[in-house]
Structure 1
Amino acid sequence: MTAYRIEGKPLIWKKPGTRLALVCLVAASVGLSVAIISIGKVLLVLILLLVLLTDYRSAINRTALRELWTPLLATLVVLVFTLSLLWTSAPLDSALGAVGKYGKFLLIPALIVLIQTRHEAVYALIFFLGGQTLLLLGSWALYFHVPVPWATSNMATTAYAVFSSYLDQSIMSAVVAAVFWHLRTFAPNRFLFYAATAVSVLALGCVFVVFTGRTGHLVGIAVLSLAIFFALPKRYRFASLLVPPLVLVVVFLSFDKVAQRLSAVKSEVSAYSAETGQESSSGTRLKFWTTSVEAISQKPLMGSGAGSWVTEYNRIEQLKTPLHPSLGVQSHGNPHQEFLLWGVQLGVGGILLLFAFGGAVLLDLRKMESPIARAGQSVLLALAVSCLFNSSLYDAYIGDFFCVSLGVLLAYGFHSREISRGSVAAGLCSTLKMKIG
């Protein structure tokens, strides 16, 4: 690796300790406040640019960027949204704000490039899971009315969220449960194996017992179903189609909060269909979704540009009620559905781009060791389910969480694979030497 120096001293971003400290800060920060996350990710992306500009010839950087599809697709997402500024119908400040929100995709290539050894990847994973464990313990403490001085959420005493909302934390808890469950096989001793299992159970308990977020409940059911699918022998996996509905029934009958919240969906949808005018979470989403489909149908090729959802929603609703514009014009930032949000902004191609990004992550994960691949696939499934009912990649807190989760897991899997390749190569060389000798 090339050493860049100023007056005999290495540049600060070239120091492994400084780089690793920043990576660990970002990995841990997705369990902390938005302010810490924002500072960490800006510094991380800045260091990424400096490293690529000054040390692009590094074998590690070139290998990671050449062999993995995810960094390329993540960068392409940011470029496409930036390019859409040329035709956006949104005000400039809203358009730039949207591009900034999707800039979080750069966290993925940043983590993959800046984590340069398996040893560093282990540290990043420890800080990531450590931060999430503290978050889980904080939520359980709040649930049992134990004071948590650092809890800053306005939902801390009512919904037991430590820093953000119960919706974000319920989704995060489900993801963390899956990651701990699948990676527990890497534990070096029995104590850590059972500790990881216990944290996984605690995290899933947070989803179904502590929090009331319906999206979190669905994500929990999805990752639990996927874990059962992986545990089934291959000859029985044909029965995996029955797993999700069975898990749903068991969870519905076992946890009161899940039953109450899922039952509420039926009444909310019925009220929306009857046009009672009663506001509800499900009714609002259905209204947003139908209007979003109309916006996509009007501009299917290129969409309306970055940050244009509010503008297009207001325009369509005002056309429906021209005599009462105050009833049609709203100021909501997103339709609570990521796929439709991309469709409004970038057209049908935007929806395909989001699918392509998910496909790139899946393709990269399938090249890695089974526990890492399964943990990453659980994160990807959680993201897909979450995006069906929320704009999870657009939102700040939960979007950063998903990008950091994927970045850390992909870096860990990539460097673990490199070590395996090195071991195989060393074994082959030893065998050849013995034969030649």
Structure 2
Amino acid sequence: MQDSPGFPITRLERAVQTLLLLALFCVPFSTWLTNVFAGFCLLCFVAALATSAPLRAALRTPPALLAIGLLALLALGASWSIGPHADIASALKKYSRLLVLPIAVATSMRDRTMPARALAAFFGGAAVLATSNYLVWHDLMPASPQGWWRIGDAKDSFSFKNHITIGILLSFATVTCLLGATYVQGARARVACVAAGILFSFPIIFLNQGRTGYVALFAGMVVLFLLRVRFTLLRTSCGMAAIVLLFVGFYASSNNFKLRTDDLITEVRTDQKRSPNGLRMSYLRVGSSIIAAHPLAGLGTGSFAEVYAPTALRDWPEDKLGHTRHQPHSEFLLIAAQLGVPGLLLYFAMLGSLLRPALRTRSFHADALVLLWVIYVVSSSFNSLLWDVTEAYWFLLLAGSLYVSARQQTAPGKFTSQGS
């Protein structure tokens, strides 16, 4: 239903919705604008809670409660943290973005058009991001004299965001477009969805050098296939083989894909300590030792840089960044190192509560939520996405909105613009 009986949506709630959509639109290309819109969205939401009983009731959903609980535990973790005050404050500021998940859930429960509008807002921003990548590739993207955005070159055509972030965002955009092609009616609509998917995927494979994007796209395509193709042993085997062959083709035809894949193989084979893979292995060793030594409470919020500094200074003695490596490029490792196993279980509970309704029904929005969840979780295994501003807002805002649509689904398999 559009709103609760006797409780029409107020102007203040409409303002919250607008600010949330603006933040989501800006996520792919502007951190500053995202933070501004998200900040005002939070302020308006707090004010709206005072006048809207249905909005307050929406906060009692499992994902909202678990997100608030995780943030409260992170705040409590500051009391036993070994990190310096500045690191603790910085970590709490980053994790305060968890508050946008309850906002997305509550506003979507009050207005069932929000999930479709949230996806549209994200796709608008993703189109800006993809277009800017193409412009960099053709040397047409202007640089910012003030340093407001960075651009790459023809060999690594990134813009606005780094290639890791670009790969994650455009991978989700790609597989969601392909998902749409399986739901929409009419040949033209299907062709348009497939074409959009190709346009979003091309920068990942051919223009950027982000290996995370390759993994995210592969995982997304596998899950998309499993969601939309009726399971038989023959179909599943042929489908998996086709996806593998597609990526073999990417390896053979893309210089960036081949270069970055070969680099990874070399790093693993030679165990290069100063390579990206070597650095991640170093993080894994230190993070695992923290969890083993402090399984119940970790070392507190914002503590990772402090505990990793001796390793950084030993392995990179000439590197002045020894005390500024604040996260181990794994969200699961970072949460457990700060809060112990109980904190990690609470984080998993939040993620599980978001996915649960999407597994009970089949619809465009439910399947989009599964794709979002899988890409986020897979990428979080070797990146700290909740720690990073862009990925955190991307996931929390979209997941909160799509969760509500999946939860309210009553006609499985039926696709409309509102996912109902």
Residue 218 of structure 2 is aligned to residue 224 of structure 1: no
Whichever residue aligns with residue 165 of structure 1, its letter is N
Q: Which amino acid aligns with 2:306?
A: T
Aligned residues of 1:155 and 1:166 also touching (Cα < 8 A): no
| Residues 139, 38 of structure 1: alpha-carbon distance in 2 compared, 3 angstrom cutoff | same
Structural mapping, 1:275-354, within 5 Å = 279-315=274-310, 329-354=322-347
In structure 2, what is the Cα distance between the partners aligned to 1:190 and 1:325?
Answer: 60
In 2: Cα distance, 1:362 partner to 1:118 partner: 18
Judged with a 3 Å threshold, the aligned counterparts in structure 2 of structure 1 residues 107 and 97 are, in CA distance, closer, same or farther, namely: same
Give the aligned CA root-mean-square deviation in angstroms. Answer: 3.1
Does residue 49 (structure 1) correspond to residue 51 (structure 2)? The answer is no
**Map 1:9-24 → 2, pairs under 5 A:** 13-14=12-13, 16=14, 18-24=15-21
Structure 1 residue matching 2:325: 3-state secondary structure? coil
In the alignment, structure 1 residue 153 sits paired with structure 2 residue 149: yes
CA-to-aligned-CA distance 1:287-328 (integer Å, 9 cap, x gap): 12111111221211100111000111125667x79xx89899
Q: Say if 2:209 and 2:260, in contact at 8 Å, map to a contact too.
A: yes
Q: When the two structures are superposed, what TM-score results if normalisation uses the length of structure 1?
A: 0.82
Residue of structure 1 in register with 2:132 after alignment? 138
Cα drift, residue 334 of structure 1 = 1.0
Ranges in structure 2 where 5+ consecutive residues have no aligned partner: 413-420
Change (3 A) 1:183 1:61: farther
Q: Distance in 1 between matches of 2:321 and 2:35?
A: 34
- Residue 221 of structure 1 aligns to which amino acid in structure 2? F
Q: 1:212 deviation in Å?
A: 0.8
Q: Distance in 1 between matches of 2:93 and 2:367?
A: 31
Instruction: Confirm or deny: 8 A CA contact 1:69 1:364 kept in the other structure.
Output: no
Q: Write the deviation string for residues 28-54 of structure 1: whole angstroms up to 9, x where unpaired.
A: 111231110111111222222222233
Where does residue 424 of structure 1 map in the other structure? none
**Residue 296 of structure 2 contacts residue 342 of structure 2 at CA under 8 Å; is this kept in 1?**
yes
For the Cα contact (< 8 Å) 1:222–1:244, is it kept in 2? no
The question of whether the paired residues in 2 share the 8 Å contact of 1:305 and 1:346 is answered with yes
What is the letter of the counterpart of residue 133 of structure 1?
A
Paired residues of 2:29 and 2:125 also in contact (CA < 8 A): yes
Contact kept in structure 1, 2:180 and 2:190, CA below 8 Å: no
Counterpart of 1:204 in structure 2 is: 201
Question: Per-residue deviation at 1:409?
Answer: 2.2
From 126, 141, 149, the equivalent of 2:120 is: 126
Which residue identity is paired with 1:162? Answer: S
Question: Shift in Å at residue 189 of structure 1?
Answer: 6.2
Contact 2:297 2:341 in 1 (8 A): yes
Residue identity in the other structure for 1:218: V
- Matching residue of 1:113: 106
Seen in structure 2, the aligned counterparts of structure 1 residues 281 and 118 have a Cα distance that, compared at 3 Å, is: same
Tell me what 1:363 maps to: 356
Deviation sequence 1:169-224 (CA, Å, 0-9, x none): 11110011122222345657654443222111111222111111011111111111
User: Which aligned pairs between 1:253-264 and structure 2 lie closer than 5 A?
Assistant: 253-264=252-263
Which of 70, 80, 90 does residue 83 from structure 2 map onto? 90
Report the Cα distance in structure 2 between the residues aligned to 1:295 and 1:145, rounded to whole angstroms: 46
Q: Aligned partner of 1:394: which letter?
A: W
Aligned to 1:426: none
Quote how far apart the aligned CAs of 1:77 are: 1.7
Q: 1:190 to 1:413 in 2, by over 3 A?
A: farther
Aligned residue pairs: how many?
A: 401
**Percent sequence identity over aligned pairs:** 22
Aligned partners of 2:196 and 2:223: how far apart in 1?
18
Report the TM-score when normalising by structure 2. Answer: 0.85
Structure 1: 5+ residue runs without aligned partners?
5-9, 421-437
Q: Secondary structure at the match of 1:124?
A: helix
Contact 2:306 2:323 in 1 (8 A): no
Cα distance between partner residues in 2 of 1:244 and 1:84: 43
Task: Give the drift of 1:87.
Answer: 0.9
